[in-house]
Amino acid sequence: VIEIGTPERSVVTTCAYCGVGCSFKAEMRGEELVRMVPYKDGKANRGHSCVKGRFAYGYANHQDRILNPMIRDSIDAPWREVSWQEALGFAAQKLRALQAEYGRESIGVITSSRCTNEETFLVQKLARQVFGNNNTDTCARVCHSPTGYGLGQTFGTSAGTQDFDSVEHSDVVIVIGANPTDGHPVFGSRLKKRLRQGARLIVIDPRRIDLVKSPHIRAAHHLALKPGTNVAVLTALAHVIVTEGLADEDFIRGRCEWDAFQDYAEFVSDPAHSPEAVEAMTGVPAAELRAAARLFATGGNGAIYYGLGVTEHSQGSTAVIGIANLAMLTGNIGRPGVGVNPLRGQNNVQGSCDMGSFPHELPGYRHVKNPEVREIFESLWNTKISDEPGLRINNMLDAAVDGSFRGIYIQGEDILQSDPDTHHVAAGLKAMDCVIVHDLFLNETANYAHVFLPGSTFLEKDGTFTNAERRINMVRRVMAPKNGYADWEVTQELARAMGADWNYSHPSQVMDEIAATTPSFANVTYDKIEAMGSLQWPCNDTYPDGTPIMHVDGFVRGKGKFIRTEYVATDEKVGPRFPLLLTTGRILSQYNVGAQTRRTGNVAWHPEDLLELHPVDAEDRGIKDHDWVRLASRAGETTLRVRVTDRVAPGVVYTTFHHPETQANVITTDFSDWATNCPEYKVTAVQVTPSNGP
């Protein structure tokens, strides 16, 4: 029992972990946060929360936080604590000198889906207005960039179509490449409630996640596909629906481009896409595939929820398109209970994408090639915006190794730990003359930094996060920033040190600028969010109170567009040296690379990452439960303990990536999505052999 005493005041704010966006009451005694209580009026969580959010405040007070700015002349030199003024002046002078010597394009920024909308907007503005280039990217590059491409092409905008309430009207639900009860627990609970009420469930996942079989819940179908074959499975489902006459022709004729549908129907009808033809390749029995397709097409309101098991593949964008095709094919768009719903991993993935942090898009998903859109920002910012997309993260690192890219400002992202091909990331960072890391802790990337700017936690600043249902939630300052500045203020001071005339005194003014430049946010103000509790974009003159469900009368692009989804096998192949396929995921108590949750009480629930190995594969190798093993791929190797379990199929292994010792990205390859460069984290050919430990 923990005695917390009586709180003196409370502040309602938003969880900074996953894309559910739960509201909490932060209860305070003086300047001490004593408890986080799920907020009963929170529209995303309705008084519920998970163990991550409840104890999130632990990392805000952790002794590892760096509270003073630091600089050094080289990455071999010791850090030197300096004033904010000296650190920002040092960074600004270095960045300007690099541009003078190597050109305007020689520097860039990376924003984070952990930060607020306002902070993200300012970081991309720093690149576009102050640096004068489009070299801005976001950590969403390595998670949901294929969602941006796939839903943009088919529906016209990159966003989930539904609110969370919608699931209460679903009759049949597909969960593909997601594990909501661990990754998005509060939404997972709502889904389970609906399933207990009788909705049918189809799980498409290589691993037997809890939803497949848990108390009172049995999935109607578990399509336990081989990692990397999502597109083949989705196309086979469409094959059954089209060839058995189960498509919703009224919806398609009224709402979609008919010519594109006919082309798609011809494509999927090819016997090569039948369940029988793809059974051996996908590992899914044809009869299961046929039954699942029939259930989804005829079972009533059908909703699809998906996660990084869809996007983090060499065909991530194609799979997202396949999901959108399936929803249109069955008329499951534009009303409660249906839709296409990307479950965003981080708190503000949706927002960081909305805010123009991709190098080819200005805020509101508008391409930099569009002169009318550029003109909006050029006249407001008194600058010239290039019509050429800037560099993606991987391109920045490539250019750094080549010598043309020399400096970077990274806000809230540990690219050394979270991006693919760790050796290449390190080489790129090492080649740069000025790496500025703005973060809470001296993360792995900071080993290669010349400037360290201390970050502020979500409890120390005002702003907004946008959750997976496009809901803009208020983030309220609960306590004063321990480092003296909120992150948006640090970015503003860096811009000023480089000569910009920025004078924001509160994030609400940044939101006013977002609203003035971005049609989907046109009617969003802090006053309105406060009055309504939250707002779902689009929020403009057409939808003054926001939009819980999108594409009700028509798609954002006008008519929905079917696109062929040709399956192309990944280049990552199993063979005699690497006979198993590794896939990765998360566990309930931990969050991503663990930088926060490992610094809270949650670490007790998951002190190490384990490798799940099927009993048959374990016996073949003489490996027992909890033994140490060496996990090796073509890219690298690591050591971890084993959990022998039939949650994975023979030939498949699985691990989480919450602890840096696991070095999961030393193992993964540098293959990536063909359209967006999102890394193929979910398929790596590996070998597992006994080991004596690290």
Q: Which is nearer to ligand SF4, 17 or 131 (CB)?
A: 17
Q: Which is nearer to ligand SF4, 17 or 488 (CB)?
A: 17
Q: Which is nearer to ligand SF4, 35 or 125 (CB)?
A: 35
When asked if residue 167 is in the footprint of ligand SF4 (CB under 6 A), the reply is no
Residues 6+ apart with CB under 8 A from 114: 16, 139, 346, 347, 348, 412, 413
Among 25, 39, 53, 385, binds ligand SF4 (CB under 6 A): 53
How many residues appear in the chain? 694
Give residue number: closest CB to ligand SF4.
53
**Distance of alpha carbon 151 from alpha carbon 557, whole angstroms:** 10
Among 10, 12, 13, 17, binds ligand SF4 (CB under 6 A): 17
When asked if residue 120 is in the footprint of ligand SF4 (CB under 6 A), the reply is no
Work out the number of other CB atoms within 10 angstroms of the CB of residue 320.
34
When asked if residue 611 is in the footprint of ligand SF4 (CB under 6 A), the reply is no
Q: Which is nearer to ligand SF4, 125 or 586 (CB)?
A: 586
By the 10 Å C-beta count (0-12 exposed, 13-18 middle, 19+ buried), 557 is classed as middle
**Least Å from the CB of residue 467 to ligand SF4:** 8
DSSP for 145-203 reads HHHHHHHHHHTSSSS-SS-GGGGGG-SEEEEES--HHHHSHHHHHHHHHHHHTT-EEEE
**Distance of alpha carbon 114 from alpha carbon 351, whole angstroms:** 10
Nearest to 85 by CA among 102, 68, 97, 72: 68
Q: H or E element: which one contains 59?
A: helix 57-60
Among 10, 13, 21, 60, binds ligand SF4 (CB under 6 A): 21
**Least Å from the CB of residue 182 to ligand SF4:** 10
Task: For residue 338, report the phi and psi dihedrals to the nearest 5 degrees.
Answer: -125, -155
When asked if residue 15 is in the footprint of ligand SF4 (CB under 6 A), the reply is yes
When asked if residue 42 is in the footprint of ligand SF4 (CB under 6 A), the reply is no
Question: What is the residue type of 618?
Answer: A
When asked if residue 18 is in the footprint of ligand SF4 (CB under 6 A), the reply is yes
**Distance of alpha carbon 597 from alpha carbon 51, whole angstroms:** 10
Among 33, 34, 50, 268, binds ligand SF4 (CB under 6 A): 50
When asked if residue 185 is in the footprint of ligand SF4 (CB under 6 A), the reply is yes
Q: Which tokens is 638 given?
A: 């690591």
**Distance of alpha carbon 64 from alpha carbon 440, whole angstroms:** 8
**Least Å from the CB of residue 18 to ligand SF4:** 3
Work out the number of other CB atoms within 10 angstroms of the CB of residue 101.
10
Which stretches does DSSP call E strand in 15-76? Answer: 23-29, 32-38, 70-71
Binders of ligand SF4 among 536-565, rule CB under 6 A? Answer: none
Among 10, 12, 13, 20, binds ligand SF4 (CB under 6 A): 20
Q: Which is nearer to ligand SF4, 49 or 491 (CB)?
A: 49
Contact 141, 392 (CB under 8 A): yes
The one segment of 10-18, 315-323, 483-491, 546-554 that binds ligand SF4 by CB under 6 A: 10-18
When asked if residue 223 is in the footprint of ligand SF4 (CB under 6 A), the reply is no
**Distance of alpha carbon 509 from alpha carbon 523, whole angstroms:** 14
Q: Which is nearer to ligand SF4, 589 or 633 (CB)?
A: 589
When asked if residue 595 is in the footprint of ligand SF4 (CB under 6 A), the reply is no
When asked if residue 186 is in the footprint of ligand SF4 (CB under 6 A), the reply is yes
**Least Å from the CB of residue 36 to ligand SF4:** 9
When asked if residue 459 is in the footprint of ligand SF4 (CB under 6 A), the reply is no
**Least Å from the CB of residue 53 to ligand SF4:** 2
Tell me how many residues contact ligand SF4 (CB under 6 A): 14
Q: Which is nearer to ligand SF4, 228 or 412 (CB)?
A: 412
Torsion angle of C-alpha atoms 55, 57, 62, 65, degrees rounded to 10: 140
Contact 582, 631 (CB under 8 A): yes
When asked if residue 598 is in the footprint of ligand SF4 (CB under 6 A), the reply is no
**Least Å from the CB of residue 361 to ligand SF4:** 26
Q: Which is nearer to ligand SF4, 36 or 172 (CB)?
A: 36
**Least Å from the CB of residue 185 to ligand SF4:** 5
Peptide bond preceding 538: is omega within 30 degrees of 0, i.e. cis?
yes
The one segment of 19-27, 144-152, 158-166, 545-553 that binds ligand SF4 by CB under 6 A: 19-27
Contact 685, 616 (CB under 8 A): no
Q: Which is nearer to ligand SF4, 99 or 602 (CB)?
A: 602
- Residues near ligand SF4 (CB under 6 A) are 15, 17-18, 20-22, 45, 49-50, 52-53, 184-186
